[in-house]
Structure 1
Amino acid sequence: MDNKVMKRAKGYGFLVIILVMGISLTSWFCDKKKDVALTPKKKVESFVLSFDSTLVSSFYAKYPKLILYKKQVVSMYEKNSFDFVWYDKKGRKETADVIYNKINNLYQEGIQTKLPYKETLDRLLQKNEAKPDIDTELFLSNYYFFYVNKTLQGIDSTKMKELEWYLPRKKQSYVGYLDSLLIDPKLIDSKEQHIAQYYKLKTVLQKYRDIEQKGGWDSIAVPSDFKSIKPGDSSTVVAKIRTRLFQTGDIAEDSGRQLYGFALQQAVLKYKKRNGFTLDKTILPKHINEMNVPISERIRTIMVNMERCRWVATDLGKAKEFIVVNIPSYRLNYFKEGKVVLTSKVVVGTTMNKTVIFSGMMSHIVFSPYWNVTPHIIKTEILPAIKKDKNYLANHNMEWNNGNVRQKPGPRNSLGLVKFLFPNSNNIYLHDTPSKSLFTSEKRAFSHGCIRVEKPTELANLILESDPYWTPERIEKAMHKKKETWCTLKEKIPVYIGYFTAFVDDEGDINFYKDIYEKDAQLAAMLVEEL
């Protein structure tokens, strides 16, 4: 074959190869096109994560019972440029379900309330749609503020004056708090939202609800001529008391015995301690009357005091040292480094001269103090006494001082040998008293409003223990010097005067105290108004 024939043959072969490849490629592309055509297209949902601000007003027009939260809701959305808060591109956020679960279990926080439009929200959330729904969005925002206002803030601060509660309340931005929850929903269960006492009361609340669920406790009936039960006595009433104290955990078992023996005596002492009674083993009608307080009333008392805990700043216990006086328990506790270093009985104001619920900063201790009599006492007590006895002032170691009356220092002084000042407009302070016998009484509401301390010397020594100048010997001398001596504290000490009728101690036992100023019913009524 010559060269021309060879070249022509190679050319034909190349064309054949090109044709075959062309056909193959065409077939491949056609097959791929068929594959694409046979594969259904995915439906891509597109939506914006913001909404028209005018829809907020439309929402409240439709659901007016939620108008209380409008200001907070609008503030939150203005901060977020009216973006959806409870949705992202993946759908409804986990925090939304956490809030929904919380509002369905408000009773666990000691709150009994009816949720407005809850049926509507239930229906909306059951749809579980990924696409944002404006009604669901705004419902969740309103219920978020409903939840935090009820469980974290408590009743509106404007009602505090009605309750005569002037302790500083904790402050928190619940708009800012939501930002944290959206990142980590578990923060909602943090036990740093309230003071520790809140969570202790919450535990006891569940315990008492369990008792109520089982039927509560029966009222203990006693004969009309009943006077007392003493160790060694035997009666059916003793057996009933044993059952009653078994229900609240004061005694380990209910043996059914009618003998008032050792085990029951110890249980009675524990019960008396928890209820502010004198610690003896004799059972009197007043003790049985206290046992007969219905379980429902005890639960209400716990819930009321959980509410009070909501008002207390959580950083209270973080101070290096502070003093707390609880009016209903007639007791003072002095804390240092988180531990109680002194507990003392106190005398507080009468129902006519109530000790004010407030806080201050102790700045001075005054040894051998003058008592500067208040204008009210001068008008209502001193002047009428002078009319009856012209020697009244001299007989009571008193004198006129620039138009006012004051009592000179000394053992007969009404303030005793020392007073502790934390300047305040209520003119209330802690002080000693010559009337020591008052501390043996169960009810100790006898003062004009100031707080008398059973252990003033111990308190002064502990406050000044880090001051080398004020040795115990120098303190004792100053207290008996009969000349007023002022000591300025190097560091001021916070003093909190509170009002708690239920309190869980370090052993986990619930203590109930008499509502001496009748504040529980007033607060309970406010909580009902909040529903």
Structure 2
Amino acid sequence: MKTLYPLIAVIILFATVSCNKKSEKREEESKNVSEKGVDELKITIDSSGIAAFYQAYPKLLKFQNDVLALYKKNKSTQLWLDNKGIVEFANTLFNKYKGLDQEGLEANFPYNEKISPIFEHTSENKLSQVDTDLMITNLYFYYVQKVSGIDEKTTKSLEWLLPRKKVNYQIFSDSIYNKSTISDDKKSKMFSQYYKLRDALHQYREIEKKGGWKTIEVGDDFKSLKKGDSALAVGQIRERLFITGELKEDNKSLVYDDVLAEGVKNYQSHNGNTVNGKISSEHIVEMNIPVSDRIKTIIANMERCRWIDPALEKGKEYIEINIPEFKLYLIRDNEIAFVSAVVVGKVMTQTVIFSGMMSNIVFSPYWNVPTSIINKEIKPGIAKDKNYLAKKNLEWNNGSVRQLPGKNNSLGLVKFLFPNSNNIYLHDTPAKSLFERENRAFSHGCVRVAKPRELAIELLKQDPTWTPERIDKAMHAGKESWYTLKKKVPVYIGYFTAWVDRDGNLNFYKDIYQKDESLIKLLTEE
């Protein structure tokens, strides 16, 4: 656990004197105690005592090296006990641990039956002073690990390659001592979406306490409902949308009226559906997902937010793409400057979750055909038709195959490069009809942009010589040309199946790559 070493100095600072703001007071108290002839409490906790502790409590063994280093720095003396008993910092830590549920985490410390009696006066602590101090220290390491999120090695195994947030242990220690959660008035501590999802979690847990929502019952032959229709299911849908806020009131009517149509449109816009006011069988299936499952989805995405560096959203200009949402956003000065629908990778050729720095825009690009496509499609095509290459506007190029620039080029009329080992980039496409679909996972991994011309115009505002007219000319030149951006633009490709938008609306998106279940399992296992 090398990543936990930075907190050693923090623990010493806070645990030995409770808090830097009270250090002088405690020193004075210690001086007074000594003058009265009462020795200051000193408990020796050395390597042998620590080794014995982990023999008795092996489920905490992963913290041993950090604990050894911590006590060594503190001259092999206790951290959490003084003449009066447990220091205030320790009590606050335990309260924080007990409140992990509010952060979407389970308080499942491996030796909960040992740690609780230390702080809960209803039962007697039977641990020695040495083991008491060590148990609290391990609780601290456990707590910091929990609120910091799953470790980077594990997130990489989950194919999450965005840069991980650097954990600031001083923040956590301050938060614990001041008896506050990671407070909303200091949101720089966490990616801001975390706090929005935490509020949504509390809202949905309240819904769950009230019984959630009832199953909407339709027959096996159900196809759709539209404005003007009348059915028992209409009343059930109305009640369902009222519970989650898409409808402001429930008039109990069984007729699909204008009020319900607007509520349905709200629902569709918050669930990645085509907004048309009509209810299909797929919508009924979605609405019938239990509130307990929606809560799990929120918790999984809160965990993803723990991995994001809050400095990301402080950038002056950057692009963010949420794969399950099929949307691209250009953010400038903390405002949405541009939005476009996108097509992402198929399940078998998933778009990678990572980041890069956009450096070039290529107009009228060639498409260098991947070897896999050459072997699977082009070579068999040539074998059947000697004119195959010409018909597809392809040509051999140094032993490989490329498609010539033009409106039928697979990359369209422009592409946007942010060099990376995954060979992923943004580009135009001649297959415009795909953007009209709800599920837009069709590519080989790259991201196709519905409005590439408009994106180029926005990005090139940093260079006024590139007018819309000049951009149009370059896109239709039929000859490849490269432009290097005067200032590189960060690109972040993420994966969030629950997201609170800037209007405060909670949105759910389909887990197209089936990533939520494995993450939820990791969060709930011991």
TM-score tier by shorter-chain length is 0.7 to 0.9
User: Where does residue 75 of structure 2 map in the other structure?
Assistant: 81
Specify the structure having the higher radius of gyration (Cα): 1
Q: For residue 114 of structure 1, report the CA deviation from its aligned partner.
A: 2.2
The equivalent position to 1:488 in structure 2, one of 481, 484, 490, is 484
What is aligned with 2:66?
Answer: 72
- Which residue is equivalent to 1:349? 345
Following the alignment from structure 2 to structure 1, what is the Cα–Cα distance between the partners of residues 310 and 69? 25
* Structure-2 separation of matches of 1:252 and 1:343: 28
Asked if 2 retains the 8 angstrom alpha-carbon contact of 1:95 and 1:181, the reply is no
Contact 1:246/1:252 (CA < 8 Å) preserved in 2?
Answer: yes
Which of 422, 427, 447 is the equivalent residue of 2:423? 427
Alignment partner, residue 148 of structure 1: 144
- Partner residue of 2:303? 307
SS, match of residue 319 in structure 2: strand
- Within the candidate set 93, 97, 113, 1:99 is matched to 93
Query: 41, 50, 60: which is aligned to 2:54?
Result: 60
The one-letter code matched in structure 1 to 2:385 is D
Corresponding residue number in structure 1 for 2:291 = 295
- Which residue number corresponds to residue 155 of structure 2? 160
Once the two structures are TM-superposed, the CA of residue 82 in structure 1 deviates from its matched residue by 3.2
**Distance between the aligned counterparts of 2:55 and 2:143, measured in 1?**
22
**Hey, what does 1:18 align to over in structure 2?**
none
* Partner deviation per Cα, 1:483-510 (whole Å, 9 max, x = no partner): 1110111111111111111111112211
User: Is it true that 1:171 corresponds to 2:166 in the alignment?
Assistant: yes
Deviations, residues 83-122 of structure 1 (Å, cap 9, x unaligned): 4333467653332122101111211111125222222222
The answer to whether the Cα contact below 8 Å between 1:94 and 1:185 also exists between their aligned partners in 2 is no
Q: Which residue of 1 aligns with 2:9?
A: none
1:138 aligns with 2:134: yes
Cα distance between partner residues in 2 of 1:161 and 1:253: 45
Find the partner of 2:234 among 235, 238, 245.
238
Q: What is the CA–CA distance in structure 2 between the aligned matches of 1:164 and 1:405, rounded to whole Å?
A: 30
* Letter aligned with residue 267 of structure 1: G
Report the counterpart of residue 200 of structure 1 in structure 2. Answer: 196
SS at structure 2 position matched to 1:489: strand
Output the TM-score relative to the length of structure 2. 0.88
Correspondences of 1:368-379 after superposition (within 5 Å) = 368-379=364-375
Alignment deviations for residues 144-178 of structure 1 (CA, whole Å, 9 cap, x no partner): 111121122x222222333111111112253x556
Distance 1:278 1:433, change over 3 A: same
Q: 1:158 & 1:486 partners in 2: Cα distance?
A: 37
Preserved contact between residue 415 and residue 434 of structure 1 (Cα < 8 Å): yes
Q: CA deviation at 1:77?
A: 2.8
Counterparts of 1:76 and 1:392 in 2: how far apart (Å)?
70
User: Aligned partners of 2:176, 2:494: CA distance in 1, in Å?
Assistant: 35
Cα distance between partner residues in 1 of 2:494 and 2:488: 19
Aligned residue in 2 for 1:321: 317
Residue 43 of structure 2 contacts residue 130 of structure 2 at CA under 8 Å; is this kept in 1?
A: no
**Which residue does 1:271 correspond to in 2?**
267
For structure 1, the 5+ residue unaligned runs are 1-40
Residue 193 to residue 136, structure 1, CA distance change in 2 (3 Å): farther
- 1:260 and 2:256 correspond: yes
Q: What displacement does 1:251 show?
A: 0.5
Contact 1:461 1:475 survives alignment (8 Å) = yes
How far residue 352 of structure 1 moved from its aligned partner, in angstroms, is 1.2
Q: Quote the Cα distance in structure 2 between the aligned partners of 1:184 and 1:243.
A: 43
One-letter code aligned to 2:310: T
Give, in whole Å, the separation in 1 of the partners of 2:133 and 2:395: 72
By how many angstroms is 1:280 displaced?
Answer: 0.3
The whole-number CA distance in structure 1 between the counterparts of 2:156 and 2:182 is 30
Distance 1:450 1:104 in 2: 44
The match for 2:387 among 388, 391, 402 is 391
**Per-residue Cα deviation, 1:177-232 (whole angstroms, up to 9, x for no partner):** 56655775547544333201111111111111111111111111112322211101
Tell me, in whole angstroms, the C-alpha distance in 2 between the residues paired with 1:437 and 1:149.
46
Residue 14 of structure 1 corresponds to none
Corresponding position of 2:405:
409
What is the letter of the counterpart of residue 114 of structure 2? T
| Map of 2:104 onto structure 1 | 110
TM-score (norm 1): 0.87
Secondary structure, in 3 states, of the residue corresponding to 2:490?
strand
Residue in 2 aligned with 1:332? 328
Q: What is the rounded CA distance, in whole Å, between the counterparts of 1:353 and 1:250 in structure 2?
A: 35
Task: Give the whole-Å Cα distance in 1 for the aligned partners of 2:70 and 2:180.
Answer: 21
Quick one: distance in 2 between partners of 1:52 and 1:354? 51
Q: Which residue of 1 aligns with 2:511?
A: 515
Q: By how many angstroms is 1:50 displaced? A: 5.8
Partner in structure 1 of residue 441 of structure 2: 445
1:161 is paired with a residue whose SS is helix
Cα 1:116–1:185 change in 2 (3 A) is same
Paired AA for residue 154 in structure 2: K
User: 4+ runs of 1 displaced by more than 4 Å?
Assistant: 87-91, 126-129, 176-188
Choose which of 48, 55, 67 in structure 1 pairs with 2:42: 48
CA contact (8 A) 1:125 1:136 kept: no
Asked if 1 retains the 8 angstrom alpha-carbon contact of 2:462 and 2:486, the reply is no
Deviation of residue 471 (structure 1)? Answer: 1.8
Amino acid at match of 1:52: D
1:474 matches 2:470: yes
**2 CA distance for matches of 1:179 and 1:148?**
9
Question: Structure 1 residues 491, 121: CA separation in 2 closer, same or farther (over 3 Å shift)?
Answer: same
CA distance in 1, matches of 2:461, 2:40: 71
- 1:311 counterpart letter in structure 2: W
**Is the 8 Å Cα contact of residues 367 and 484 (structure 1) preserved in structure 2?**
yes
Give aligned pairs, total: 486
After superposition, give the CA deviation of every residue in 1:6-46 in whole Å (9 maximum; x if it has no partner): xxxxxxxxxxxxxxxxxxxxxxxxxxxxxxxxxxx977243
Q: Distance in 1 between matches of 2:62 and 2:370?
A: 44
Offset from partner CA, 1:460-499 (integer Å, 9 cap, x none): 1111102122122211111111111101111111111111
Provide the residue aligned with 2:30 in structure 1.
none
